[in-house]
Chain A
Amino acid sequence: MRHRRALELPLQKSAIVPAPQQAPAPRSGDLLRGIDGRADAPAPAQLWLAVHLAASPSQPERQDLERLGARAQRLTPCVSLDPPDSLLLEVKGSLHLFGGVEGVSREMAAECSRLRMRGTLAVAPTPLAALALARAGRAGVFQRGHLTCPRSGERPDRARREATSGRTWSPPRAFAKQGQRSEMSGPGALPPGMASGTASSEDALSGRSLLSSLIVTDPAQLIGKLSPLPLATLRWPPDALGRLARIGVRTIGEALRLPRAGFARRFGIAQLQTLDRLVGRASDLKDRFEVRARFRRRRELLYELESHAALLAVLEPLLGELGEFLRARQCGVLALECRLRHRTVPPTRCVLRLAAPVADPAQLAALLRERLSAVVLPEPVRACELRSGQLVSRVLASGGLWQPGERGGGVAAQAPDLIERLRSRLGAEAVYGLQAIEDHRPEAAWKRREVVIAMAAPAIRGGWENDPGRNAVNPSLEGFPGPFDRRPLWLLPVPRQLGERDGLPRRRGALRLLGEAERLETGWWDGGEIARDYYTAVDARGARLWVFREREPPHRWFLHGVFG
């Protein structure tokens, strides 16, 4: 998210903001600047479009909001979700692409109507102001790209006057098609200070009847437009709203006129910060919404299948769809799960893990064939489902001229093939890398590392075989002083208990201990507590071993490593 320049607003000593008693009459150029290109007013640094979804017939769910957010990314990359029911878009950069504020709003309304969602749109220079305006506006019906609104909150005389001029919009303002009035939702809570009125028929005749929007593009007019809105649109906690209501403060304008210090003391600093963000005095950073794209397809089979070959034939079209899905996004998958559903037993899961992002359906099919051949089906399969793991962007590289092993041949390019072939035959866990961890306990000092070959850009650094995986964790312990000199090259997964005679350990005869003990202790922070004295020992056949003796009784001896 970009930082937004705080808007310069005049400050008075005693008041939060010098709210004008009467909102200045909007000039025609200010609000329609995006449309007719006139630029009388200073351009705001940002312009936010808020979508407030109506709660009828039911409260929109997170999933709906994400779907709408994904579609809204067609209009601008800066989409932010405001759960439970609102969406924010920063549209300043998109105005010239979609025909101004009106065009963007119309496109957004069309997206809502495609998802059969109802709600209100508003545009303002700050995200909170846009949200407040949208919440104060009344639910309209999006239908086939047209947005209708039941009633205008505007006084009829003014609405008529502006409609006849055909240029000026003021919030809230309705443009409604006469024929769609019947589909309008019922009247919502009417904000105080906004007289109910009937939208004039001139609105519909004026030709700009597609959209109902609450639009403020001029920062100087923002406070004027916000002043009549009820404080409930800010969604403050009920007790703060109640206390404000008791002193007779019900609208944003009235709250803005209160003294800052007293306001913060009596109603909370958070509320004061909200007001600052609302009028643009403090910057308001929003988290950008990013679509989590996954591929998921399920196919019900007409009849139950038992043979692997038939299953693969069914899976191949699904893999083809996956390939198209990935190609369109220039992505690959690192993990792919195939679920085979049965009649009674739980589904069989078959997971492919890939060393490098793969998008080629043929390659995936070959790997899945290898993997499936190892799967024993408990029952015939009724349905199969393909789920991708997270998508990873891939850089397309051209193939090498030379065969692997030849001079300058694409040697490392073969590595993903090799690793995937090994994994598909031996299992995903059979192939792994190593990683050293800074821990004094031998068991905790290393772990398996997932082998992922990073697809670096090939041309820039002269071939990515230089650093496949090199940008991975690289704990260089070389030359690390001290105890690592006495670490064995082999570690037993679990220490093996040794026999004992006369206090000395035995393995194929008595062990000869070399040097002094090295004491490794504690590990209380993760439950793996140890207390051991480690020795280097040599057995009768000359192998050097790493053994330890427990510090706690019964002081048993264990073999833990071999120096090799």
Chain B
Amino acid sequence: MSRDLSGLLEHPAIWRGRSAARVRTLPTGFAALDAGLPGGGWPQSGLIEILPSCFGTGELSLLLPALAAVTRRPEARWCAWMAPPLQPFAPALAQRGVALERVLVVQPQREDAGEKYALWAFEQTLRSGACDVVLGWLRSALPRQIRRLHLAAERGAALGVLFRPPEAARDSSPAALRIALEPAARGARVTLLKSRGGARGAIELFWR
């Protein structure tokens, strides 16, 4: 690229998709993933989707380095777990460096009301501004609801992480980042389904 061209591209009136992703990010803890994500990490505010091929593929291991870093900051806010399908195991979280005193588990008790309460609580938590990260497990979510969650996350300056079944990859979604996760040898294969201004394609990760 010639110098003229690069000078031209610096013009404020010229707008390119990749540079639009000037977002504040959290390092993921995986160098390969950081390189592929816009801004070099998870966005600090907004909603992202993770679509593991099945529960336990490593979707939590993918997030844990970032969670550990966020909860150990001196100005850390809550790290909320919204309707987790199983019990988060505290000793393992502590061993991976997550500050447990910043962890808040929200488990709506009313199963009969379906996901209504989980959605409500998810939105309240994202919007409150009291959380750095909100992890949510929803079985089904409409694009309209995800859009709402995304706006709430931006308002509360929180990172919302929505875990969805792999079938949801077919639907469109207003989330800023969508990631599919498949098991691989000693790690997982991450596919960026949607990434505003980021790279596309698959990235191999290895669990430490």
Which residues on A are within 8 Å of B, measured CB to CB? 403-405, 409, 411-412, 414-415, 417-419, 421-422, 425-427, 429-437, 442, 445-449, 451, 465-466, 469-470, 472-480, 484-485, 487-493, 541-545, 561-564
Q: List 19 A-B contacts (CB under 8 A).
A: A405-B156, A412-B130, A418-B128, A418-B131, A431-B105, A434-B103, A436-B91, A465-B75, A469-B102, A475-B94, A475-B100, A476-B94, A485-B95, A487-B92, A488-B92, A490-B87, A492-B87, A541-B57, A543-B183
B74 is an interface residue with CB less than 8 A from chain A:
yes
Closest to A438 in B: B91
B125 — nearest CB in chain A belongs to which residue?
A418
* Residues A484 and B106 in contact in the complex (CB < 8 Å), given A422-B125, A490-B56, A543-B55: no
B58–A564 touching, CB < 8 Å: yes
Contacts A436-B100, A477-B94 given; indicate if A430 touches B108 (C-beta within 8 A). yes
Report which of A411, A436, A447, A451 forms a contact with B77, defined as CB distance below 8 A.
Answer: A411
Query: Which B residues, 68 to 97, have Cβ-Cβ distances below 8 Å to chain A?
Result: 74-75, 77-78, 84-97
Set A430, A434, A447, A479: member contacting B88, Cβ < 8 A:
A434
Minimum C-beta distance from A431 to chain B (A): 5
User: Measured between alpha carbons, how far is A485 from B157 in the docked complex, in Å?
Assistant: 33
A435 partner residues in chain B, CB cutoff 8 A? 90, 100
Cα A493 to Cα B182 in complex, Å, equals 26
Nearest CB of chain A from residue B137's CB, rounded to whole Å: 11
Q: Is the CB of A426 within 8 A of B78?
A: no
Q: How far does the alpha carbon of A465 sit from the alpha carbon of B130 in the complex, in Å?
A: 10
Show the binding face of B for A, using Cβ within 8 Å. Answer: 53-61, 64, 74-75, 77-78, 84-97, 99-110, 117, 120-121, 124-125, 128-131, 155-157, 182-184
Chain B residues in 8 Å Cβ range of A488: 89, 92
Question: Of residues A466, A473, A564, which shows the largest number of chain B Cβ atoms within 10 Å of its Cβ?
Answer: A564
By the criterion CB–CB under 8 Å, are A433 and B105 in contact? yes
Q: How far is the CB of A537 from chain B (nearest CB, A)?
A: 11
Q: Are A433 and B183 in contact, with the CB atoms below 8 A?
A: no
User: Of B61, B85, B95, B120, which one neighbours A484 at CB under 8 angstroms?
Assistant: B95
Known: A414-B128, A417-B128, A490-B87. A484 touches B54 (CB 8 A): no
Q: Least Cβ distance of A488 to chain B in Å?
A: 6
* B69 → A minimal CB distance (Å): 12
What residues on B are CB-neighbors of A405 within 8 Å? 129, 155-157
Distance in Å: Cβ of B50 to nearest Cβ of chain A: 11
Interface pair A541/B183, CB less than 8 Å apart: yes
Distance of A292 Cα from B59 Cα, bound (Å): 50
Residue in B61, B100, B102, B131 whose CB lies within 8 Å of A489:
B61
Residue from B75, B96, B108 in contact with A466 in the complex, judged by beta carbons closer than 8 Å = B75
Q: Once the chains bind, are B128 and A487 in contact (CB under 8 Å)?
A: no
Choose among B96, B108, B129 the residue that contacts A426 (Cβ–Cβ < 8 A). B108
* Assembly CA distance A563 to B62 (angstroms): 12
- The reply to whether B91 and A404 form a contact with Cβ atoms under 8 Å apart is no
Contact yes or no, B93 A489, CB < 8 A: yes
Q: Across the interface, which residues of A come within 8 angstroms of B124, CB to CB? A: 418, 421-422
Chain B contacts of A442 at CB under 8 A?
Answer: 89
Residues of B within 8 A of A484 (CB): 91-92, 95
Q: How far is the CB of A362 from chain B (nearest CB, A)?
A: 19
Instruction: Name B117's closest neighbour in chain A (CB-CB).
Output: A426
CA distance A403 to B104 in the complex (A): 22
With A422-B124, A484-B95, A543-B183 as contacts: A433 and B56 at CB distance below 8 Å = no
A412 to chain B, nearest CB (A): 6
- Identify 20 new A-B residue pairs, CB closer than 8 A, beyond the known A404-B130, A433-B104, A564-B61: A414-B130, A415-B130, A418-B128, A422-B124, A426-B110, A427-B110, A432-B107, A434-B88, A434-B90, A435-B100, A478-B94, A479-B95, A489-B60, A489-B88, A490-B85, A493-B87, A542-B53, A543-B183, A561-B86, A564-B60
B102 to chain A: closest residue by CB: A469
**Pair A419/B183 contact, Cβ less than 8 Å:** no
Question: Which residues from chain A contact B156 at a C-beta distance below 8 Å?
Answer: 404-405
Q: What CA separation (Å) do A411 and B77 show in the bound complex?
A: 8
Tell me whether A426 and B106 are in contact in the complex, defined as CB-CB below 8 angstroms, given that A404-B156, A543-B183 are known contacts: yes
Select from chain B the residue with minimum beta-carbon distance to A465.
B75
| Residue contact B56 to A544, C-beta cutoff 8 Å | yes
